[in-house]
Amino acid sequence: MSRLSVIIGQRIRGYRTGLKMSQEELAEKCGLHPTYIGQIERGEKNATLESISRIAGGLSIPLCTLFDKIDESTAPDTNYPAKAYELFMAMPPTSQEKLYTILEMITLL
C-alpha cells in the first residue's frame, strides 16, 4: 500500500492503543468492521475519507489530527524530524511521555 496509508494506519493504532481500546471496541464505536480497522491500521486498505472521519470520531479526536504534518512525513527518508514525528505519533501516550523524557535528557548532555 502507499506510504500515506501506512502513516494514517500507524497514527490510528497509536491513538487507539493509547486509549486502551481494542480494534473491536473502536469498530463498534464507529460502525465499521473490526477486520477493516485492522487492515487500515496495517496500511493494507486505502480507507475512504468517510471511514477515516468515523474512526477519528470513535477515537474522539479531530479528523485533522490524523493528517497533521503529512506532507513532511512523506518526504524522502533523510527527513529525520518527520521520521521521528511518525515514530512518536504511532506510540501510545505513555510511551510518548517516556520517549520525550529521554530526548530531554539527551539534549542536556
Residue 81: give its domain's CATH number. Answer: 1.10.260.40
Q: Which residue, chain included where needed, has cell 524530524?
A: 81
Residues in the chain: 109
What nine digits make up the cell of 66?
A: 490524523
Look at the pTM and tell me if it is higher than 0.85.
Answer: no
d(CA 65, CA 80) in angstroms, rounded, equals: 20
Residue numbers of the domain that contains 18: 3-107
The pLDDT confidence band at residue 94, using thresholds 50, 70 and 90, is confident
Q: pLDDT tens digit string along 27-59?
A: 999 999 999 999 999 999 999 999 999 999 999
- Is residue 86 predicted with pLDDT exceeding 50? yes
d(CA 86, CA 82) in angstroms, rounded, equals: 6
Number of domains in the chain: 1
The interaxial angle of helices 34-41 and 23-30, nearest 10 deg, is 110
Mean pLDDT of the chain: 87
